[in-house]
Amino acid sequence: MAPYRLGDLLKFATTEPIPDNSLAHAYWSRTDVPNNFEVLAETVISTCTPICTDETIMHLRLGDALTTSYLKPPSPSEVQLALQERGLTDVTIMSAVHNGHADTWANQTAYVGELTEKVPFAILDFADHTTQPEVDADFCRMVNAKTFIEGRGGFSEKIRQTRCMLDHENLDLGFAGTLQFSSTPACVTETRKRAGG
């Protein structure tokens, strides 16, 4: 079974089968326009189980991004510094292996090991699933968290844009980079720059 790539399914019209009970299917039943964040927000409201949570969640794209310069995530030391400078100690860091292969797993294992040492106060929730129910649940959890910290990549950007439509708080710690993955203008988010930055 092919991996359920929610980010790509929202970005591109596809002729591939989409699971009937999925968030992607619910989205495309409402529109024929990719990356329509107003529709995606409406889909989240109607599809996601409401989650009452005070979580602050940071999303990191790992996997192949660890060896791709324009997607490379912040180093564990940069994550540590950014969180400590802002007194953020109750944080969940979520990720999954994107486009995984043997080298990807080795790089990710090393990254996660260092991150565990640098931010022992954070909850690391690194998934190895690529099936529809789990991926949709992760997306819903991040969209509905109290606060979201965007990483690099289109999936993280979709979460931020959807949260903007829902008036949820996003924190900009400088991890998203300058690359825009959609033509939709970014909504205004709370920006907390690093000291001296």
DSSP of 145-181: SSEEE--SSHHHHHHHHHHHHTT-EEEE-S-S-S--S
DSSP 44-94: HHHHSPP-----EEEE---GGGGG-GGGPPPPHHHHHHHHHHTT--SEEEE
Indicate whether 52 pLDDT > 70: no
> How confident is the prediction for the chain on average, in pLDDT?
81
C-alpha to C-alpha distance for 30 and 43, rounded to whole angstroms: 8
Rounded mean pLDDT, 73-91: 91
SS3 99: coil
Q: Which residue has the higher pLDDT, 38 or 72?
A: 38
Predicted confidence at residue 173, as pLDDT, reads 84
Predicted confidence at residue 97, as pLDDT, reads 67
Domain assignments of the chain as residue spans, ordered by start: 6-47, 56-191
CATH no. of 56-191: 3.40.50
Indicate whether 26 pLDDT > 60: yes
Is residue 176 within 8 A of residue 73, CB to CB? The reply is no
C-alpha to C-alpha distance for 194 and 38, rounded to whole angstroms: 31
Determine if the pTM surpasses 0.95.
no
C-alpha to C-alpha distance for 129 and 143, rounded to whole angstroms: 19
Indicate whether 159 pLDDT > 50: yes
Rounded mean pLDDT, 141-169: 91
Predicted confidence at residue 177, as pLDDT, reads 60
The predicted-structure confidence for 161-197, as pLDDT tens digits, reads as follows: 999 999 998 888 888 764 444 444 445 444 333 233 3
Which residue matches tokens 């591109």?
12
